[in-house]
Amino acid sequence: MTDEPKVPPEGSGAPGKPADQAEGGPSKPAAPMPTEPAATETPAKPGAPGQGAEGPGKPAPVAPPAAVAAGPPKAAAPPSKPAAPAKPAPPAPKPVVKPEPWSSPLVDELRKRFPGAVGDALMFRSQPSIVVAKEALIAIGEFLKSEAGGAYTFLTDETAVDYPKRAQRFEVIYQLYSFKLNHRLRLKVLLGEGESVPSVAGVWPTANWLEREVFDMFGVQYEGHPDLRRILLPEEWVGHPLRKDYDILKQDDAWVEANLHIKSGQ
Amino acid sequence: MPETTFLDSNELLINMGPQHPATHGVLRVKLKLDGEKVVGSECIIGYLHRGVEKIAENRTYAQFAPYVDRTDYVAAVTNGMGYCEAVEKLLGVELPPRAQYTRMILAELQRIASHLLWLGTHALDLGAMTPVFYTFREREEILKIFENYCGARLTTHAFRIGGLQYDLYDGFEKDARKFCDYFLPKIDEYEELLTTNRIWMDRTKGVGVLSKEDAIALGTTGPVLRGSGVNWDVRKAQPYEAYDKVDFEVPTGQQGDTYDRYVVRIQEMRQSVRIVRQSVERLGPGPIMGKVGKVIKPPVAEVYHSIEAPKGELGYFVVSDGTTNPYRVRVRPPSFVNLQAFDLMVRGHLIADVVAIIGTIDIVLGEVDR
């Protein structure tokens, strides 16, 4: 709070380059900044690698792909010295902070072994993510788990994100970790409504409950899952609450009435 | 001799919980028994599901911060720390050192408090009544420090995105040092009560064994993973805040049984004291907030950030669509994932060991169910 007003070059008035909050807040909190038009949707799809939307001097906040170290990379910020509290006169256009294409030997190897099954590979805040086709998911998982693929023996988390406006509305997300490389890797599978994705519980047994939760919350169907039932909600519940079209006040009124003997709780 | 007599027991299905004092909340376990032996189990969870992840999508980034305190409600400080750091990573904010060390001190004190609660109740579950009185006494001292710092004892909401809302109160350093001096001998006292206690060893050694391979395959983290002999701690492997600048060790077990996990947690408390001491020394004066705008509006991107919570790896996967509300917040709860190993750990043991194994995983149902 104290050092709020010493953010020199923010200048929320830069046309077209609103510099979304990478560091330093806008000095005038009232004015909502216009969102950058190109990046309204789809964080996973930044278009061609050489897209020209990058500002001068490559956005520094994104660390080079090789760096695996954790911790937020240095922000390309002005030094935090209490610079003269003069009004920020020249609003330098800031580079738009967004995920960058990730090229690494692993991606090349995957593309070579699984032609056509590996989509965008992106890097943001030194966190790589790769989009893979669901048909090849198990094979890619087995490969990544093997020594040759980097020994990603640890499935930290599996979850999903719902983008109802996209053709393939679900992104199923796998957070992998390799003890050998001390490296995290994010796999993504894009999935349309009504499609099913192969269960990775055979590759990483921890996926069992995690996939049950994704099924419970999003209604994503898993093929070959050993025990695909709801895990958090009651088994008879109708609806999948973490879908975007499930309103926050919505409930399964019939279930509530039948089991709790009250009208809907809201 | 006839093959079976009426004394032979057939398999019996019993239900434990959700209202059972040894399930640490509202865990319901279905147990399949052969006599007194457990041949199978199933955890039924969700009684405390509040839809925290859905709530996140309907709040701003700052508004959601207090909600994460209610997931693992006995370790609110570390929850808040994980969430704030995840958003900070999304924004690309760097914290001033004073904020980092303050966070580390409070988080390590919270780890001690969480382990103390675990130790007291775990021992109580196994029939050792004495430790709980002592551990709650020491935990109280930590909660007093929290209360002096931010006014709350349990759901602290101690941090803000970008740093701290409050600077440390006068005398905080003295309180923290005093607590460390006071607390270290107390750990010896607990160990005197339990570590070489014959009954304690009988009840915990060889109970709930989890091999190294199973621990990794089932995704366990925290003391459960380390008790099985895997030397892995997020604070060491992928340091956040200033954990790479302080000196501490990662205790591990060998057998992967309940006793080893007990020893690991006891040793972790000692290491936490070390971290607190070093961090207090390095608390220099300085700003407590990084450069964060009043309106938090991250770029269109997503990050996964995890910290070493008392129970294991607590991760937050935050997806931003460029607006003031998170598009999606996924909490990766250590308790939920660790609980999955329960079935494997409990098979073949006696029904009396079930409470030992529930206790040793150290679950909090608020976090399992969210």
DSSP state of A163: -
Which ranges in A72-206 belong to alpha helices (H)? 105-113, 137-145
Average pLDDT over every residue of A76-81: 45
What is the rounded CA–CA span in Å between residue A159 and residue A215?
9
**Sign of the alpha-carbon dihedral angle for A32, A33, A37, A42:** negative
The reply to whether B286 touches chain A by the CB within 8 Å rule is no
> When comparing pLDDT for A181 and A92, which is higher?
A181
Contact A70 B239 (CB under 8 A): yes
Closest CA to A71 of B317, B106, B241: B241
Average pLDDT over every residue of B231-241: 89
Structure tokens at A10: 């923010």
What is the rounded CA–CA span in Å between residue A61 and residue A50?
18
User: What percent of chain A shows pLDDT beyond 90?
Assistant: 9
Q: How far is A200 from chain B (nearest CA, A)?
A: 12
What is the rounded CA–CA span in Å between residue A262 and residue A239?
19
Q: What is the pLDDT of residues A203-242, one digit of tens each?
A: 999 999 999 999 999 988 898 888 888 899 888 888 898 8
Looking at beta carbons, which residues of chain B come within 8 Å of A77?
Answer: 94, 291
pLDDT of residue B166: 86
Looking at beta carbons, which residues of chain B come within 8 Å of A204?
Answer: 217, 219
Structure tokens at A22: 């990478």
Is this complex's ipTM strictly greater than 0.90? no
Instruction: Tally C-beta pairs within 8 A across A and B.
Output: 185
User: What percent of chain B shows pLDDT beyond 70?
Assistant: 97
Q: Are A157 and B220 in contact (CB under 8 A)?
A: no
Confidence of residue A92 (pLDDT cuts 50, 70, 90): low
Within 91-150 of A, beta carbons closer than 8 Å to B belong to 96-99, 124-125, 127, 129
pLDDT of residue A266: 54
pLDDT of residue B114: 92
Confidence of residue A40 (pLDDT cuts 50, 70, 90): very low
Full 3-state SS string of chain B: CCCCCCCCCCEEEEEECCCCHHHCCCCEEEEEEECCEEEEEEEECCCCCCCHHHHHHCCCHHHHHHHHCCCCCCCHHHHHHHHHHHHHHHHCCCCCHHHHHHHHHHHHHHHHHHHHHHHHHHHHHCCCCHHHHHHHHHHHHHHHHHHHHHCCCCCCCCEECCEECCCCCCCHHHHHHHHHHHHHHHHHHHHHHHCCCHHHHHHHCCCCCCCHHHHHHCCCCCHHHHHCCCCCCHHHHCCCCCHHHCCCCCCCCCCCCHHHHHHHHHHHHHHHHHHHHHHHHHCCCCCCECCCCCCCCCCCEEEEEEEEECCEEEEEEEEECCCCCEEEEEEECHHHHHHCCHHHHHCCCEHHHHHHHHHHHCCCHHHHHC
- Residue B4 in any domain: the answer is no
Looking at beta carbons, which residues of chain A come within 8 Å of B230?
Answer: 179
Within 180-239 of A, beta carbons closer than 8 Å to B belong to 182, 184, 186, 204-206, 208-210, 213, 217, 230-234
Q: How far is B26 from chain A (nearest CA, A)?
A: 12
What is the rounded CA–CA span in Å between residue A203 and residue A187?
14
Looking at beta carbons, which residues of chain B come within 8 Å of A25?
Answer: 291-295
Looking at beta carbons, which residues of chain A come within 8 Å of B55?
Answer: 248
- Total count of domains within chain B: 1
Within 159-188 of B, beta carbons closer than 8 Å to A belong to 165
Q: Are B59 and B161 in contact (CB under 8 A)?
A: no
Q: Which domain holds residue B355?
A: 11-369
- Residue B286 in any domain: the answer is yes
What is the rounded CA–CA span in Å between residue A91 and residue B164?
29
**Is the pTM of the predicted complex or chain greater than 0.90?**
no
Contact B287 A157 (CB under 8 A): no
Closest CA to B269 of B68, B119, B59, B165: B119
Structure tokens at B55: 């709530």
> Given A72, A156, A248, which is nearest B313 (Cβ)?
A156
A 10 A CB-CB count for B215 gives: 24
Q: Are B227 and B253 in contact (CB under 8 A)?
A: yes
Answer whether residue A77 shows pLDDT above 80. Answer: no
> Given A43, A69, A248, which is nearest B300 (Cβ)?
A43
pLDDT of residue A25: 39
Answer whether residue A30 shows pLDDT above 90. Answer: no
Within 46-65 of A, beta carbons closer than 8 Å to B belong to 61
Euclidean distance between the first and the last CA atom of chain B, given in angstroms as a whole number: 55
What residue of A is the nearest CA neighbor of B370?
Answer: A232
Closest CA to B78 of B368, B367, B351, B370: B367
Say which residue the tokens 């003890």 belong to.
Answer: A179
Torsion of CA A88, A89, A90, A93, to 10 degrees: 30
Q: Crossing angle for the helix pair B351-361 and B258-282, nearest 10 degrees?
A: 20
Bridge-partner residues for B305, per DSSP? Answer: B316
CATH number at residue B215: 1.10.645.10
**Sign of the alpha-carbon dihedral angle for A167, A218, B61, A81:** negative
Looking at beta carbons, which residues of chain B come within 8 Å of A182?
Answer: 237-238
- Residue B283 in any domain: the answer is yes
Confidence of residue A115 (pLDDT cuts 50, 70, 90): confident
Element (H, E) at A124: strand A118-124
pLDDT of residue B1: 52
> Given A26, A77, A244, which is nearest B293 (Cβ)?
A26
Structure tokens at B319: 């997806």
Q: How far is B324 from chain A (nearest CA, A)?
A: 10
Kindly provide the b/e burial profile for residues B67-84, where b requires at least 16 CB atoms within 10 angstroms of the residue's own CB: bbbbbbbbbbbbbbbbbb
Q: What is the pLDDT of residues A151-198, one digit of tens each?
A: 888 999 999 999 988 888 899 999 999 988 888 999 999 988 888 899
Length, in residues, of chain B = 370
**Sign of the alpha-carbon dihedral angle for B306, B310, B312, B318:** negative
- Residue B5 in any domain: the answer is no
What residue of B is the nearest CA neighbor of A128?
Answer: B303
Most B CBs within 10 A among A98, A155, A232, A244, hence the mutation to make, goes to: A232
Q: What is the DSSP string of A90-122?
A: S-PPPPPP--EE---HHHHHHHHHSTT-EEEEE
| Residue A241 CB partners (closer than 8 Å, separation 6+) | A217, A233, A250, B51, B54
Answer whether residue A126 shows pLDDT above 50. Answer: yes
DSSP state of A218: H
Say if residue A21 is exposed, middle or buried (CB neighbours under 10 Å; 0-12, 13-18, 19+). buried
pLDDT of residue A109: 83
SS3 A156: strand
| Residue B281 CB partners (closer than 8 Å, separation 6+) | none
Closest CA to B256 of B230, B234, B237, B235: B230
> When comparing pLDDT for B27 and A89, which is higher?
B27
Q: What is the pLDDT of residues B285-306, one digit of tens each?
A: 888 888 888 888 888 888 999 9
CA distances from B32 to A67, A214, B19, B125, B218 (A): 50, 27, 19, 21, 22
Asked if omega into A85 is within 30° of 0 (cis), the reply is: no
Q: How far is A115 from chain B (nearest CA, A)?
A: 27
Average pLDDT over every residue of B349-370: 88
Contact B301 A217 (CB under 8 A): no
Q: Could you give the domains of chain A?
A: 100-232 (3.30.460.80), 233-266 (no CATH)
Mean pLDDT of chain B: 88
> Given B49, B53, B296, which is nearest A21 (Cβ)?
B296
- Residue B134 in any domain: the answer is yes
Q: Are B349 and B210 in contact (CB under 8 A)?
A: no
What is the rounded CA–CA span in Å between residue B99 and residue B345?
40
Confidence of residue B6 (pLDDT cuts 50, 70, 90): low
- Residue B6 in any domain: the answer is no
Looking at beta carbons, which residues of chain B come within 8 Å of A213?
Answer: 336
Contact A209 B337 (CB under 8 A): yes
What is the rounded CA–CA span in Å between residue B185 and residue B264?
17
Q: Are B268 and B251 in contact (CB under 8 A)?
A: yes
- Residue B261 in any domain: the answer is yes
Distance from the Cα of residue A197 to its chain's centroid: 18
Q: How far is B240 from chain A (nearest CA, A)?
A: 6
Answer whether residue B62 shows pLDDT above 60. Answer: yes
Q: What is the pLDDT of residues B316-346, one digit of tens each?
A: 999 998 888 999 999 999 999 999 999 899 9
Contact A2 B289 (CB under 8 A): yes
> Given A43, A77, A153, which is nearest B302 (Cβ)?
A43
